[in-house]
Amino acid sequence: MTSEPASAFDAMAASYDELEPWYEHLYAMLHDLVRSELARPAAHGSLRALDAGCGTGFQTAILLALGYRTVGVDLSGGLLAVARRRYPAASLVRGDLQALPWPDETFDVVVSCGSTLSFVERPARALGEIGRVLRPGGRVLLEVEHRYSFDLLWRLLSSAVGDPLRYGASLTEAARAFARPLGASIVCDYPDYPRLRLFARRDLDHLLREAGLVRLRAWGLHSVTNVIPSTMLHRPRLGRATAALYDGLRALDRALASSSVARWLANSLVVLAVRADR
């Protein structure tokens, strides 16, 4: 990860937890998955967890509540300062996912949410580090930005008519997202964020295998909710009609999350993987 994401997230630290409607839905579903998929077996003793890209500690708090000895790492000193005030029981470290400061096979589970890997300069190296510090049989839950979603279409349509949706992309830039090869990941801009990587599922599966990780399950979040352009949901509150539509779409999005349709069209892709024996 370069210094650009760190500076950008430092600037967001004071308001990072003021969740817009988009993030309210995303984190509600993500946190349900963390609790259900990484519940600590009662028969096990002390297990260790890493929150990779912990931010202000959303997932760190859940891992602590599940009974893990939890460590969080993030490149943003501003976000970590908030997390340290809130969760003194957690060990929080400023560091880079591309060079994790722990020995091999240190952790039983790893969580990386908040699209952290989409902001990492070299995701293959970051996933290799996650695989390295995870014990054989350990699980990792990842959430990344996904290439194929209605949002790319909204971005293209908006750019063609003067950008009323405020994606901030020219028509040429927006059209590049549809360039071949269609099965490859791409990097693009989004308003108020550093450049981010949109992962194609094929590429992500390849990176997981290279890191010694085997995908078990996958979910798609913000699939049907993307009928509403994401820029309209990145606001403090919604109008009454939009809010009513969004509530219905959220329920449908949750119901479809594990379906192939959601995995193809989701804005965010969530993957549960296991570290293979070596």
Q: Parse the chain into domains and list their residue ranges.
A: 3-149+185-275
The per-residue pLDDT for 45 is 67
Pairing of strands 196-198, 186-188: antiparallel
The per-residue pLDDT for 30 is 96
d(CA 84, CA 141): 23
The per-residue pLDDT for 10 is 83
Note the residue count of the chain: 278
Give 189-236 as a DSSP string: --TTS--EEEB-HHHHHHHHHHTTEEEEEEEEESSGGGGS-HHHHSSS
Fold of 3-149+185-275: Rossmann fold (3.40.50)
The per-residue pLDDT for 3 is 47
The per-residue pLDDT for 4 is 76
d(CA 103, CA 10): 28
pLDDT digits (tens, 9 = 90+) for 167-185: 999 999 999 998 878 889 9
pLDDT digits (tens, 9 = 90+) for 216-228: 999 999 999 999 9
The per-residue pLDDT for 278 is 61
The per-residue pLDDT for 9 is 86
Q: What does each of the 278 residues of the chain score in pLDDT, given as a tens digit? A: 344 788 888 888 888 888 899 999 999 999 999 999 999 775 566 899 999 999 999 999 999 999 999 999 999 999 999 999 988 888 999 999 999 999 999 999 999 999 999 999 999 999 999 999 999 999 999 999 999 899 999 999 999 999 999 999 999 999 999 887 888 999 999 998 899 999 999 999 999 999 999 999 999 999 999 999 999 999 989 999 999 999 999 999 999 999 999 999 999 999 999 998 76
Contacts 24+ apart (CB under 8 A), 169-178: 177/147, 177/152, 178/152
